[in-house]
A and B are shown apart, each in its own frame.
Chain A
Amino acid sequence: MADAYRIAIIGSGPAGLSAAARAAALGISHILLEKTDHLSDTIFKYQKGKHVMATPSQLVLRSDMDFDAGKREAVLGAWDRQAAEQGVNVRLNAEVKAIAGGKGDFSLTLGGGEVIRAEAVILAIGTQGNPNLLRIPGGDLPHVQYQLDDPGAYVDEHITVIGAGDAGIENAVGLAQDPAQRNHVTILNRSADFSRAKDANVKGLFAMRDGGRLAVMTDTTPSKVEPGWLTLDTRDGEARIRCDRIIARMGSAPPRKFIESCGVEFTSEDREAFPRLTATFESVSAPGIYVIGALAGYPLIKHCMNQGYDVVEIINGNSSLKPADEPILEAKFKRLPRRRTVDQWLEYLRANVEILNDLSPLQMREFMLDSEVRAYRIGETVFEKDDPGSSLFGIASGSVDVAGRVRIGRGSIFGEVGLISGRRRGATIRAAEDSILVEVSRTAALKLMASNPAARRVVTRISTERQLLQMFGSGLTPEDLAEVTATARVESVSAGKAIITEGEDGCDIFVIRVGSMVVEKSIGGKPVFLSYLPAGSYVGEMAVIDGAPRTATVRAAIKSEVIRLDGAAFRRLLDRKPDLLEKAKRDMAQRQDLNAFVEARKDSFSSVVDMYSSVANFLVEQGVGEATDVLLIDENLCVGCDNCEKACADSHDGLSRLDREAGRTFAHLHVPTSCRHCEHPHCMADCPPNAIHRGPDGEVFINDTCIGCGNCQRNCPYGVIRMDKVPPKKPGLLSWFLFGKGPGPGEPSHEWSATHADPAIEKPKKAIKCDMCSGIEGGPACVRACPTGAAIRVAPEAFLTVARLDRGEG
C-alpha cells in the first residue's frame, strides 16, 4: 500500500523547500522528497563559507522560509531549523526514479522500489545535478572536476577554472583568496564580457586580478587537456599553460531524459531549453506536474522561493494570487494602450516578438523586469541617427521605418548593430504605424542571447541577412537572398587559422563578421602579404565565378567570426542577378591585377616584397589587425619634438592621449601607445555606466558619464587608456610667451596642476583616451601638428596592401 499525499515535492532546494513550507502552513498533506541525505543540495555544495547573494534586490521575497544574503552555513542552518519548526514532511535519501499517472493520481517510484502516490507533483530538482561537461580531448581525465566543495583543500596547485558565470568566479576567487595556499589560479571566459555573472562577483574578480592574485583570460576556450598542462585557444592564437586541476563550471542543463519520461515536454531540442509551462508553472503536456526553480529557467534563490510559495497557493485553488513581481510589471504596462493584464501582455509580447518566442512565461517575467515596453504613435521617432545607444528593439505590433527607405515589420528586431559593435545609431527609426516596441538593454540582450539559443540564432540570422544586403548592394531583397542565407553558418576562427588555403578546391564564400583576416600568397615558398580584410568584407567569390582553385590563403589576424555561405547557392544567385555578377567581376578584376603584379615582381622585387610582408605582419601583431584607425610614426622623419603629444593635450582639456615614445618599432615604423579604435573594443566590454561608444567616424570615445572605475584601462590590451584628472585651465599662449605665465603648450606638469587647482573643487579621476579629435574641424591634432609629416593615421585596409609597393612606398 503506497502512501498518498495531496502534493509530492521533488527536490528540497530553495524552491521545493519553500513550496513544502507553504503546504505545511496551509495544512495540506505533502511530502518533500530529497535525493541526498541533507536539504538543499545545490547550496550545500557551495564552497565552504561562500557568501550567498540575494538578487535581484528589487524583488520582494514571499515565502514561509526566511532568506537573506549571508554565509552558506547561516542560510542552510536557518532552513534546517525552520523546516523542522514548521512541520515540513521531509523524506531524505529518496530519489524518484519514475512518475506515472495523471492529474489527481500520480505514482512516484522511489529508488528502493517504494511507490508514493500524490494528486499533484512539484518538480523542483534544479539543474545542478547535470553539469555541462568538458567535451574536448582529455576532458575525461580525473583532474577535471565539476564542483568545488572546499577551496581551502588545495595548496600549491596550478588550477584553471573554466567558465565565468557566478559559480566559476566564486570558485576562482575562493581558491585564490588565501595567498598562503600558493595556488596559481586562472579563470577562462570564452567571451570578452561577463554578462552571465552578478555585478558584485565580477567586481570582486577584477579586484583580485588587479592585486595579482589570479589571472583572468577572456576570449579564451580550452582545446586540449593533458596531465599537468592545458592547451588554450586564445584571441591571439594557441597557448599552453601549467594546470594541475581543472574546475569546469560551464553551467548545467536539465536532466532531460528523466523529465521527458514523466511526460513533460521542452520548448525545443536545444540542450539548454526549458520545459514548456503555463503561467501557473504547470506543464503543458503533463497537467498536474508543476515545474519551478532553476529547472523552469530561473536559477536565482529568491525567485525559486517565491515560485515555491506561489505554486502551492495555485494548487490549493488560489486563483487571485499575483506573482511577487506583479506591481513592478504592472507599472511597466500601465502606459500602453488597450487594457490587458500583466500575463496577457507577457504572452502578447512573447508570441509576437520572434526572439522571445522560446521563453517561458516565467522567463518572460524576468526578462521584462530588465526591459521596457513603449507605444509609439505613427511618425514618432524611436531614435535618431547618431544617437548613442546600444539597446535592441523588438517590434510587438506595428512596423517601423528605417531612414525612410526600409520597413521592418512585426516580430523583427532592430538596433542589433549597436548591440554587437556599440556604434552609434546608423539610421533614424520612426514608427510607420502605431506600434508597440520592446526595448531590451544591452545587458539584458546579451543575457538573453547567452541563455537562449533560439534568440541567439534569430539575432544572428537577422544580422547576417542585413549584412549581406548591405554588402551586395541595394538591388537585392531579402527574398533574393533567402536561399543563400539559409545556408549561412557562423563559424569561429582562432587567430592564425586559415579559412581558405591556396591551391585547394572549394567555392564557399566567407563574410567576416567579427575580427579581420589577412590574405597571403605563397611566392617562392614564402607567404607574401597581399591585403587585409576588416570585418564587413567578404572573400572567396572568385572561385565561385571562375571555378578555379583558390588563388591565395586567407587566415584570421585575430580571433574572428565568419559567416560561411554555400558557393553553389551563391552561384545561382549570381545567375539570377546579372548586376551583382557584373559587380563581383569588377572587384575580381582588381584583385587579379594585384595577383599578376605580385607574380611579375617576384624575382626582381623579392627583397622589397619580403620587407613589406614582414612589416605588415609586425603591424598585425601590434593589434593593427583589429584597428579601424591607427596612429603610426615614420621614424625616418620623426625628430622627437613631441609636438603631437602637446597638440593632443591642448586639444583635449590639457591631457595627452598618446605616448609617442612608448610602443613597438619595426623597420623605422613605430606604433605609439595610442588608441587603435578596435573593431570590437575591449574597453567597451565591461563599462558599468556604459559610457564607451563608437562615434559616427568610427572613433571609440568615452562620454561624461564615466565613473572612473578603471575597468576599460585594465581591459585594453594596448595600454592606451589613462586615468587622470582634468588639469586647471592654462593662461593663454600670448601671456606665456610674453610674460612667462603658465606652463606653456602641452600637458602641464602634475606640480603645476596641483598648485593651480581650485582646492574647493574635488575633481575625480576619469578614463582618458583618444577620440580621434571627433568634432574638431581639421581632424586629429597629432597629425596636423606634426612638423615633418612623420605622424600618419591610417585605416589598416588602406595601409596594408601590397599595391603600395607600386609607388615605391611601404
Chain B
Amino acid sequence: MATRGARPLDAGGAAQHEGFLRYRGYRWLKLALAISLAAILIYAFHDARSRPNGGSWYGYTLGTIGAGLILWLTLLGVRKRAMTRGRWSLKAWTSAHVYLGLSLVVIGTLHTGFQFGWNVHTLAYALMMIVIISGIYGIAVYSTLPRVLSANRGETTQAQMLDNLRQLDRQLHEAAQPLGQRHAEIVRMSLDDDPFGGGLIARLTGRYPKCGTRAAQEAIRIETGPRPAIGDDALERIDVLLERKEAALARIRQHLKLKALLEIWLYVHVPLTFALIAALFAHIFSVFFYW
C-alpha cells in the first residue's frame, strides 16, 4: 500500500533508542580501548631510569591524566542533578563515565609502576580500584536487573503494592473480629509484624526468615489442617487472606530487593569516590612537598 506521511519520517528516530553501553556504536568503548592500548605500548617502550615509577615524565603524564579523569568522572553526579539547558544527554555522559572509568584501571596501574606499599599513595590506588570494582558491579546490575524488576512489578507501582498490603491488613483485621483470643493472637502475628524488618541482609536477599505472616499462616494451617473446609469458616477466610498477603509480600519484597541491588553499590561507589579524592590530594601534595 503506497502511503506517505505529511511529515517526513525522522531518520534519526531509531538511533535514539540504544542503551548507555551501546551509545553511538560503542564510541566511548573504542576511545577507552585506544587510550589504554596507547598507554600500555608507550609504557612498554618507555625507558624509565632505575625502574618505571610515577616520577618519570611518563609517570607524571599518566598521573595528570588519571587525576583529571577522576575529577571529571565525579562530575557525573553534578551533571545528573543540575538540570541546565543545552544539548547534553546524561546517557552520553554515563557511557563516557563507564568506559573512561574502566580505562583508569590501566592508566592508574601503569602510573604506579607496580610499586605498592603501606602508604597514602597505595591507599589512593586501592580506593580507586574499589570504586571501579563497585562500578563494574553497577554496570552488571544495570544491564541485567531492569527487565527482572519490570517483569516482577507488572503494571503496579510501588505505592500501589503498599496500598494493596494495607488493604489486606484491613481485611485481615475485619475477618479476625469474630475469632477467639487464641486465634486472634495468630492473626496478630501477621498484623503486628514489620514485613520489611530484618535489616540490610533481608533486604538484599529478599529472605525474611522471621516473617510474621508466614508464621501466622503455618499456625492457622495447623488449626485448619485436620478439619474439612465447609465453606463458611472464619479461619478458612483468614487462611485465604494470609495466602494473598504472602503473595503480595513476596512480590513487594522482590521489588525492594531488586531496587536495593540496583542502588546498594552507589553507597560504596559515591562515598569512596570522595575518600579517593581526599587520598588523591594527599598523594599529590605529599609527592610535591616530601618526595
Contacts and interface: CB of A to CB of B under 8 A. Distances in A.
Interface stretch (B51-59, B88-96, B124-132, B236-244): B88-96
A788 B150 contact: no
Interface in B126-154: 142, 145-147, 149-151, 153-154
Given A542-B2, A637-B19, A643-B80, A788 B85 contact: no
A378 interface: no
Contacts of A534: 5-7
Interface in A673-710: none
A537 B4 contact: yes
A76 to B, nearest CB: 54
Contacts of A781: 83
Contacts of A788: 19-20, 91, 94, 142, 146
A750 interface: no
A478 interface: no
B2 A635 contact: no
A293 B244 CA distance: 67
A638 B141 CA distance: 11
Contacts of A733: 78, 81-82
Interface stretch (B8-16, B30-38, B162-170): B8-16
Contacts of B90: 643, 784-787
Contact of B158 (A530, A595, A661, A787): A661
B276 to A, nearest CB: 18
Contacts, number: 161
A612 to B, nearest CB: 13
A554 B85 CA distance: 42
B18 interface: yes
Contacts of B262: 639-640
A119 interface: no
A217 interface: no
A208 interface: no
Contacts of A647: 83
A636 B14 contact: no
A667 to B, nearest CB: 10
Determine the interface band of chain B, counting residues with CB < 8 A from chain A.
Answer: 35 or more
A733 B221 CA distance: 55
A662 B154 CA distance: 10
A788 B262 CA distance: 13
B155 A591 contact: no
A504 to B, nearest CB: 12
B5 A533 contact: yes
B149 A640 contact: yes
Interface centre among B10, B146, B151, B262, by most chain A C-beta atoms within 10 angstroms, is B146
Interface residues of A, number: 75
B86 interface: yes
Interface in A636-671: 636-640, 643, 646-647, 650-651, 659, 661-665, 668, 670
Given A745-B81, A783-B89, A798-B10, A531 B157 contact: no
Given A636-B147, A777-B86, A785-B90, A539 B1 contact: yes
B23 interface: yes
B271 to A, nearest CB: 14
Contact of A591 (B2, B17, B81, B150): B2
B2 A537 contact: no
Contact of A777 (B78, B87, B149): B87
Contacts of A661: 153, 157-159
Interface of A: 470-471, 500, 519, 521, 530-531, 533-534, 536-542, 545, 550-552, 554, 584, 587-588, 590-592, 595, 634-640, 643, 646-647, 650-651, 659, 661-665, 668, 670, 733, 744-745, 776-779, 781, 783-790, 792-795, 797-799, 801, 804, 807, 809
9 contacts: A636-B146, A636-B150, A639-B145, A745-B81, A778-B88, A787-B80, A787-B93, A795-B7, A798-B14
Q: Which 9 A-B pairs have the closest CB atoms?
A: A635-B150, A536-B6, A542-B2, A588-B2, A798-B13, A552-B1, A650-B83, A661-B157, A789-B91
Given A591-B3, A636-B19, A778-B85, 14 more contacts: A538-B3, A539-B1, A545-B2, A639-B146, A643-B80, A661-B153, A661-B159, A665-B155, A777-B86, A784-B88, A785-B80, A789-B17, A797-B9, A809-B14
